[in-house]
Structure 1
């Protein structure tokens, strides 16, 4: 379900939208935004910011470069260039750009904000919190910075302060979907069922026919143990998907990933597999679809030999893909092939060191081999990145 996207950074626009509050989640695809040609440095910086928000990183970088060239004494476009570099994972270059921006204006709030993002990406929550706090001193109430600091608090295990930051966002922006989703998940983890459901309801209230919002509510209901209501909510989400697809037949295929997620989350594995089978009939070697089918079977603990074959096929087409390696490792874990699971997660983590699912699966495999110290270390690292990962894997029937 949503957890797969949240923990494994799986591809797909719908999945990305569902994972908007996850630290490791990839950004949505670029959106072409028609903006009049700017006249000066401020205009180029503003257009760059718009492009950054829509994940047009190339366009944003070009605009920030133009703004910096037009006003070389202004810190902001240089700091914004650093943010682009952070989104691209180029942290050393981003740090150098932030240092240049700070030399021009030590009180530019984007400088500590960017530094906090780098520390967060490097799993250093305490210095990240310090940096975000400094940014908030310079720009109080900035919702993006508060969201980032909430994630840092979660990594540090300080869920009370994470909740306080989410409360701060929602006190001024009560319809902030990212904060509502994050707070709902936090409440659910803490066993606070009614507040969790209230936040999920608030997301749905903004668009009662949005399949993604309905799916989020179903996931929260499942998390808080209200199984009957969760199943009804999954059915409601599927009905909303059907309505959207009927209203725009040309776009019906765009909803297949979300439909597959809902089928898997609600225990309808056969329907999830059938849906992916239909897609594979047209794209037989698509590694993403093969991985989806592997994962659907693996999490349901069904037909593990077929799941393994799908993962092998996917890796033949997309070698060294961390999400596929993690899927194969999980299959091997369920098959009792602990050495193979550890080897696959070693490879996944070599490419994506902050993948919570890989750390968690490797930790369990190590525990089952009797390597308690290394196993507990992996599990602790996974929980820092995804505080509620135990609940996710418990839903798959897997516990340390």
Structure 2
């Protein structure tokens, strides 16, 4: 008796479940499902599948205001700009108050070279949402194309102020590029100082700040900027090398050697050993200098022109001029170095000093064949 009463509620629940399974979702619910499916496929980079899902949604809910913009985003990602523009035009007919639609349309017009149409659309986007950083950035790029540099800098800065933290540094650097390209290094230095002072201290921004500080002769602050950038760039040995170069110029050899060692911890490079050898040589630490020269010879890549010429100079400093000449002869004979006049003259001068007349003639003939006319070849 008690067992039968326990079974009855279960039968009722099963019957209710059967009734639920028989009821299918309506067109609205199905359309929403295809919309979500299309979004997922789009984000996964499955553009053809996303279009298929959106087209199925269109059959179920043809007037959905979200649909043209969604399809437009897919076309934009596929590089089908004209198709994307048509979809965003349709999206704006359905919802003219959505700033993103104007922003996307402005971007597309800009890519197609329609700068007036692009500017008009972007301004409409900003009228609806003044902090649309994508629209601000694109408007800045249009000002760059038109040579309107002050306006470009202004809009890159506005975009940086409005965008997420991770995107601020590239936008500030674009503004800096415009300023430095116009020879306005003092303005670039001020802008970089302002943004790093606000806490945007990416390695890229700090490196740019260091570069401008060096240009302005501010070596101590530049060393500080490069050091911080290096500390946040564990795979870049060149930043510590820059710190070492500055400390060498500031006549702080111990600090320079320490910076160079940090660079070597990241990557063992000949050019750094050359720099360290010079410091030791200047301090009359001959044995340490010889050891660094040995390391430089062991790690030389053979493809870096600057590295090879610096190594040749160091060998000459150590009295190993025949070895230096061999490096210069091989380097100056490379086809892509045949027109590097300073390298050719340097090779000829050292060959003359060592009385290697055959090399002198070869180099002088190479200089003449390049079209350079000299009163006298070394």
TM-score by length of 1: 0.44
In our comparison, the structure showing a higher alpha carbon Rg is 2
TM-score by length of 2: 0.46
Higher relative contact order (CA 8 A, sep 6+): 1
